Structure 1
């Protein structure tokens, strides 16, 4: 009778076992392990439905990370459908790649309108500073010290000391800090350097104010030079090495 009473007192939802230890009745609860079922989705009838939607999420997240905020969704789906069903696509691979590149360029540009505006305002003001000259390309320069040696050509290699900064004064590179001048071919550097250094005689030291389109453009350079950055360089031409 005692065993029957103990059994009736155990909640129906709990599983129990009885064990006899030294003449006493001990009640032990079993550990109940529950497996969480995946949340059902009303739109997904099968794995293909879920995967299709997941592909859309993955694509959108990747595109948003690269600056795109919207697409023509009807044409996006048409492009997918045409390829999967074997229909003739409406763009050649070359035109398609060009269109994608332009879309990313425009999206990226919209993220850096502040840099573009800052550079434009700076150059507009800077060209009025005494001693600053502006070339047809938009490059600005100031002579710190004029040398009397030969001037390099675009095909020459030169030896130069330099320091580069952003408009806010942050330095991103300096051969002076390394105590080691740089030897480089003028036809393999940013356009602002190629043009600016051809203005310099050996022994000169110039300050160049380089618009983003003559510097690293829409891509920037590494972590230190953001896209669409106007740059300031102090350059000292030490030697022209010829071709």
Structure 2
């Protein structure tokens, strides 16, 4: 899993896992057998080979949101293998570029619509939980632990521990797994985080479920956060630093 963290309204990638690349390639090609573990792969491949591995993963990532079936992946793989081998293409690739773009837009729009529909159901389910509330903007806020320290203002810098998931439970980022809290300015994060933090006090912990429009919208943050995704965060507010008080609280 790539190491990620919230920063300036986007998720920033820090490093690439070879194991993740292997999984993506297996998925694209429909190959059988488990993907190799990260340590053995890293030990077996030199730097140039790992770069080529990353190239394959990058190509696969561009196709992932098309949600191709096994039969469709077979056609894609055939085109790739034959072209890479220098064989004559079976179709006029240039003339099909507009159709490729159209296919991408159609599949993407369908996936986003389905993801938003599923997200809306998830938001309603979480809003019905004891102690949860849906705000006017559409996010679901649930206080897990009340804080007793100072509150948060828009221009403050905060230190937090957090974990973010997709509605299916897949973790997209976690400072807790890194065992290191994260610090950032309140007015530099996605809208749902800002709204939630302004409700919190130091020492508090909250669950925040963010609709796509208050998170990463239809653009998502590929390859980890899909376009149109609803996000489920657990946020613990550790410290607040005012602009004129670098010591925090």
Answer yes or no: same fold by TM over 0.5. yes
Give 1:185 shift: 0.9
Of the three residues 95, 99, 109, the one matched with 1:56 is 95
Give 1:58 shift: 2.7
Q: Over aligned residue pairs, what C-alpha RMSD do you find?
A: 2.0
After superposition, the Cα gap between the structure-2 partners of 1:219 and 1:128, relative to the gap in structure 1 and judged at 3 Å, is: same
Runs of 5+ consecutive residues of structure 2 not aligned to the other structure? 1-87, 244-249
d(CA) in 1 for partners of 2:142, 2:188: 23
1:139-187 Cα shifts (integer Å, max 9, x gaps): 1111111111111112111100001111111111110111110001111
Q: Which runs of structure 1 show a deviation greater than 3 angstroms over 4 or more consecutive aligned residues?
A: 53-56
d(CA) in 2 for partners of 1:128, 1:59: 45
d(CA) in 2 for partners of 1:230, 1:125: 13
d(CA) in 1 for partners of 2:121, 2:97: 39
Runs of 5+ consecutive residues of structure 1 not aligned to the other structure? 1-37, 39-52, 69-106
> Which position in structure 2 is the counterpart of 1:67?
105
Look up the SS of the partner of 1:227 in the other structure: coil
> Which position in structure 2 is the counterpart of 1:199?
199
* TM-score normalised according to structure 1 size: 0.59
> Which position in structure 2 is the counterpart of 1:130?
130
d(CA) in 1 for partners of 2:111, 2:232: 22
Look up the SS of the partner of 1:221 in the other structure: coil
8 Å CA contact 1:154–1:198 kept in 2: the answer is yes
After superposition, the Cα gap between the structure-2 partners of 1:129 and 1:54, relative to the gap in structure 1 and judged at 3 Å, is: closer
8 Å CA contact 1:158–1:240 kept in 2: the answer is yes
Look up the SS of the partner of 1:160 in the other structure: strand
d(CA) in 2 for partners of 1:237, 1:113: 33
d(CA) in 2 for partners of 1:151, 1:111: 39
* TM-score normalised according to structure 2 size: 0.58
Larger helix proportion, structure 1 or 2?
A: 2
What number of residue pairs does the alignment pair up? 154
> Which position in structure 2 is the counterpart of 1:148?
148
d(CA) in 1 for partners of 2:234, 2:227: 21
1:116-149 Cα shifts (integer Å, max 9, x gaps): 1111111122222211011110111111111111
Give 1:54 shift: 6.3
8 Å CA contact 1:204–1:236 kept in 2: the answer is yes
d(CA) in 2 for partners of 1:112, 1:234: 24
The reply to whether residue 163 of structure 1 matches residue 163 of structure 2 is yes
Structure having greater relative contact order (Cα 8 Å, sep ≥ 6): 2
